[in-house]
Amino acid sequence: MFLRGAGVALALPLLDAMAPVRAAGKADVPRRMVAIETNMGILPQYFFPEKPGAGYALSPYLERLGKFRTQFTVFSGVSHPEVTGAHAAEKCFLTGTPHPERGGFRNGVSLDQVAAEQIGNRTRYPSLVLGVGNEGQTLSFTRSGAPIPVERSPRKLFERLFVQGKAADVAARVAELRQGRSTLDFVGGQAKRLDRSLAPADRARLDQYYTSVRELEQRLAGSEAWEHKPKPKVAAAPPTDEKDGREFAKQTKLMFDVIRLALETDSSRLVSLFIDTTPIHNITHHGNRPEVLAELRAKEQGQFDVLAGFFQALTDAKEQGATLLDRTMVLYGTCMGSANSHSNSNLPVLLAGGGFKHGQHLAFDTTNNYPLTNLFVSMLQRLGIEAREFSTGKGTMRGLEPA
């Protein structure tokens, strides 16, 4: 009950069968992921290309990313099976859990947190859960379906990543971590008392629970070790937060700048970012009025300009002869194919970087959509995680291959 209330994710330990195959003596190549959702849809007529394949003509929005056309893949005809409910679907972008609109809905684990269970211990922060805007969802959920709170302030994120705390602050943080371990010891001790009276099947479940507790204790111990290590130093100055929620493009750029620093210093390899564009909700219901469409298009073009700047920043950052974009999958999309009609099908989605063969438009059936969760299986595998399925995805994304 304590663990459930605290929203703690208990994960199975990494087994030999789960470990990614590596050649003997080969150095670990950092693989990273940034998952981004904008919650009020994207005008489909300005996003989707008209023709499939590698020779497609760039759509108006994709022209803003034209410099990087060989470094991203755009998808059409994809969605999350049975994820309905219009705006309710925004909480399921990284989980794919069906029917968020129903009473008693319980979300599943998000893509980034599955990855964090496996590779999160390689960095100071297993994952960064971020948001843009004055309110809105989180993209990240634990194994129990508990939402993970977002950090919305680029300045606070910068301080968390790069400002070294005073000795007293570090000691207090270590004490908190140790208290967490002692609490787990107590819970484990209480659970062991049940062992004598349980049936064999329940004993097996309890043994699995003990293993999970030990795994979480190891993570806490690892976190304590990081507290004693100096944080990386960067030349950049702390950003000044943009308070106006209507300026979400500016807010997004500020967050992208800090994300790039986090990736470049290998402070974390996994990032989720929820972009709350609620201030333009009224104009997403445009009714095809030309003046409203023009206003909405201008706002959305600003988002793609900021995304292009993020791609450029990752391209400019080099690591062991590769660019940061080469090693970072950037997923960008939305929970609604059309905000005007509240449709949750044919979602505008693209994937950039990360070492895939890009430069194409993968077009699937716009009526009977292809599972977007299959893309998530491909992304997990690219991170070196042996995954055969994720949520409703039962295989990898057809047509998307590693470079």
pLDDT (tens digit per residue) in 136-175: 789 999 988 989 999 999 999 998 898 876 777 666 766 7
Q: What is the structure's pLDDT at 178?
A: 65
With a cut of 80, say whether residue 179 has pLDDT above it.
Answer: no
With a cut of 60, say whether residue 2 has pLDDT above it.
Answer: no
Q: What is the mean pLDDT of the chain?
A: 86
With a cut of 80, say whether residue 127 has pLDDT above it.
Answer: yes
Q: What is the structure's pLDDT at 289?
A: 87
138 vs 205 pLDDT, higher one: 138
With a cut of 90, say whether residue 347 has pLDDT above it.
Answer: yes
Helices H / strands E in the chain, number of each: 11, 11
224 vs 25 pLDDT, higher one: 224
With a cut of 80, say whether residue 81 has pLDDT above it.
Answer: yes
- DSSP 3-state of 299: helix
Give me the mean pLDDT over the 41-48 stretch: 94
Give me the mean pLDDT over the 92-96 stretch: 98
Burial call 373-391: b when 16+ CB within 10 Å, e when fewer:
bbbbbbbbebbbbebeebb
- DSSP 3-state of 246: coil
Confidence of residue 182 (pLDDT cuts 50, 70, 90): low
With a cut of 80, say whether residue 97 has pLDDT above it.
Answer: yes
Q: What is the structure's pLDDT at 12?
A: 37
Burial call 47-74: b when 16+ CB within 10 Å, e when fewer:
bbbeebeeebeebebbebbeebbebbbb
With a cut of 90, say whether residue 386 has pLDDT above it.
Answer: yes
